[in-house]
């Protein structure tokens, strides 16, 4: 079986004169264990690898991919990509990035995680469930309890001289708890990810999911009102996904962003600083280079409320007359690189959460929102989402609330930020502290 280096070398060698050819190869070994009632409900072991080939000739781009290819099949993929390129529209900005060696981040790969045996993984999943169902008498079962890990490698090589390769390990724990009282059932979830088990606070995942489900028991619909709204880190992270799309130079260039033509202008409260940083180890999405081999870096997108920069890959950077920010992303070898985030987060503020709750008296803490992806218009920024949460009174969390809707626009919400907490927390690649929004309409009955 050829290794990723051999496959990408074979791809680059198949290039003809005047063509730019790139191979993106990845492979991974992934294990997922779900536990249920003290038993293993499911154990999945997965091995996968593949190569995606970009051919650019005369400004035209073609793509082809193959799962677990032989060297011959990689050459065939180059031929298919070449054929596809002939039908594509010429675009002067199509280009591969020049070679630029990325500083390695060796700590992304943890030998201990890569060596962990299946039995140990099963043990963690069972413990995770056991801890969750022992924490509170109202939680006797879970909707989901999973421990998983992945060991992966990525290699990029091109005719422009890119030769980049790195390995990583990731592990995660997820719990969705079901709290019951009388006829009522409420769900609460939690999730954490780390590079190896020793750094994964999995027991907190269990207790947090339990707490978030039980505290919603007895929830009622609120009456509609305009009140201070506190987004906890879970709810805040859902909104960040909408911002990620709007800050992509691809969306802006295609006039598909609420931030089109707003560079240099205020777009939010001066308390808001929004960053993408592919090198910070505080976030799980750190990587030495992006999905076309460009080194990652720190980019301040919104600095104290002002839109300062956008996320770029090589294509959008050329089109916008700037340099790539190392934000080429793809969904594996099957797709061409688009623009995406790495560690994308709101910088922590200085306000303790207790202080935020004091300032939001009579308001609502939102703990979960649903329908952000369907309910938010990425272009106009309008949204109306369903939410669950808790009433805030006297600086404390009070009665639970369900079937609320929160409707506003992203620009209004960003401008309305009245305090940023000091409790930045990452969920997969997005991170956010607790945030206080001055006033929002919360609709109930």
Binding residues (CB under 8 A) for other proteins: these are 1, 36, 39-50, 61-68, 73, 77, 80-81, 83-85, 87-89, 91, 118, 141, 143, 178, 185-187, 224, 254-256, 334-336, 370-371, 373-375, 377, 379-380, 382-386, 402-403, 405, 407-408, 441, 443, 445
CA of 370: how far to CAs of 57, 247, 388, 441, 443, in Å? 44, 22, 9, 16, 14
Closest approach, Cβ 275 to other proteins, in A, equals 27
> How wide is the angle at C-alpha 307 spanned by C-alphas 305 and 311, nearest 5°?
130
Distance CA 33, CA 45 (A): 9
Shortest Å, Cβ 342 to other proteins: 21
- The enclosing H or E element of 212 equals helix 202-214
The secondary structure element, H or E, covering residue 203 is helix 202-214
Q: Rank residues 66 and 310 by Cβ distance to other proteins and give the closer one.
A: 66
- The DSSP-derived string for 21-39 is EEEEEEEEEEEEEEEETTE
**Minimum distance from residue 105 beta carbon to other proteins (Å):** 27
CB of residue 307 vs other proteins: minimum separation in angstroms?
A: 17
Q: Characterize 273-294 residue by residue with b for buried, 16 or more Cβ atoms within 10 angstroms of its Cβ, and e for exposed.
A: bbbbbbbbeebbbbbbbbbbbb
Q: Would you list the DSSP string of 96-127?
A: PPPP-PPPP-GGG--HHHHT--HHHHHHHHHH
In the complex, minimum distance from the CB of residue 382 to other proteins, in angstroms, rounded to a whole number: 5
Query: 87 or 394: whose CB is closer to other proteins?
Result: 87
Which lies closer to other proteins via its Cβ, residue 92 or residue 103? 92
Q: Cβ closer to other proteins: 48 or 308?
A: 48
Nearer to other proteins, 62 or 278 (CB): 62
From residue 153, give the alpha-carbon distance in Å to each of 67, 70, 325, 345. 15, 18, 22, 25
**Which run of H or of E encompasses 409?**
strand 396-409
Phi, psi (rounded to 5 degrees) for 71: -60, -40
Q: Which is nearer to other proteins, 304 or 335 (CB)?
A: 335
CB of 188 to other proteins, least distance (A): 11
Our CB check for other proteins shows the closer of 271 and 310 to be 310
> Contact 326/293 with Cβ under 8 angstroms?
no
Nearest-approach distance from CB 427 to other proteins, in angstroms: 16
Distances (CA, A) of 201 to 124, 172, 174, 198, 345: 11, 9, 11, 8, 20
The position carrying tokens 């997820």 is 174
Beta carbon nearer to other proteins, 106 or 321: 321
Provide, rounded to whole angstroms, the least separation between the CB of residue 293 and other proteins.
19
């Amino acid at each position: 079986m050829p290794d990723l280096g051999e496959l990408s070398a074979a791809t680059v060698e198949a290039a003809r004169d005047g063509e730019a050819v790139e191979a993106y190869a990845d492979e991974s070994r992934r294990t997922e264990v779900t536990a249920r009632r003290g038993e293993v409900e499911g154990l999945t072991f997965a091995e996968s690898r593949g190569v995606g080939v970009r051919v650019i000739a005369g400004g035209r781009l073609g793509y082809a991919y193959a799962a677990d290819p032989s060297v011959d099949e990689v050459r065939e993929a180059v031929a298919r990509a070449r054929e596809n390129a002939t039908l594509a529209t010429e675009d002067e900005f199509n280009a591969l990035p020049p070679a630029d060696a990325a500083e390695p981040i060796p700590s992304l790969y943890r030998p201990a995680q890569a060596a962990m045996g299946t039995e140990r993984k099963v043990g963690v999943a069972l413990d995770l469930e056991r801890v969750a169902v022992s924490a509170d008498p109202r939680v006797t079962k879970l909707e989901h309890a999973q421990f998983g890990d992945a060991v992966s490698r990525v290699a990029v090589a091109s005719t422009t001289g890119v030769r980049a390769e790195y390995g990583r390990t990731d592990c995660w724990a997820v719990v969705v708890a079901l709290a019951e009282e009388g006829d009522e059932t409420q769900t609460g979830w939690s999730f954490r990810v780390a590079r190896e088990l020793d750094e994964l606070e999995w027991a907190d995942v269990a207790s947090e999911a339990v707490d978030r489900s039980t505290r919603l028991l007895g929830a009622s619909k609120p009456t509609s009102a305009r009140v201070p709204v506190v987004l906890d880190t879970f709810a805040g992270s859902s909104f960040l996904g909408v911002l990620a799309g709007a800050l992509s130079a691809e969306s802006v260039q295609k006039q598909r962003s609420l931030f089109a033509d707003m560079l240099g202008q205020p777009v939010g409260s001066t308390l808001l600083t929004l960053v993408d940083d592919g090198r910070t180890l505080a976030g799980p999405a750190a990587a030495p280079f992006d999905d076309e081999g460009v080194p990652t870096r720190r980019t301040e997108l919104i600095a104290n409320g002002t839109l300062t920069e956008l996320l770029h890959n090589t294509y959008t950077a050329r089109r916008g007359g700037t340099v790539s920010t190392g934000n080429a992303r793809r969904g594996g070898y099957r797709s061409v690189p688009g623009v995406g985030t790495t560690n994308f987060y709101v910088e922590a503020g200085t306000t303790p959460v207790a202080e935020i709750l004091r300032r939001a008296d009579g308001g609502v803490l939102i703990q979960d929102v649903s329908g952000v992806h369907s309910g938010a218009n990425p272009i106009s920024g309008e949204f109306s989402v369903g939410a669950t949460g808790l009433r805030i009174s006297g600086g404390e969390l009070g009665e639970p609330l369900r079937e609320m809707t929160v409707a506003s626009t992203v620009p209004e919400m960003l401008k309305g930020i009245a305090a940023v907490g000091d409790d930045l927390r990452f969920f997969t690649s997005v991170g956010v502290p607790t945030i206080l929004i001055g006033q929002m309409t919360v609709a109930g009955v």
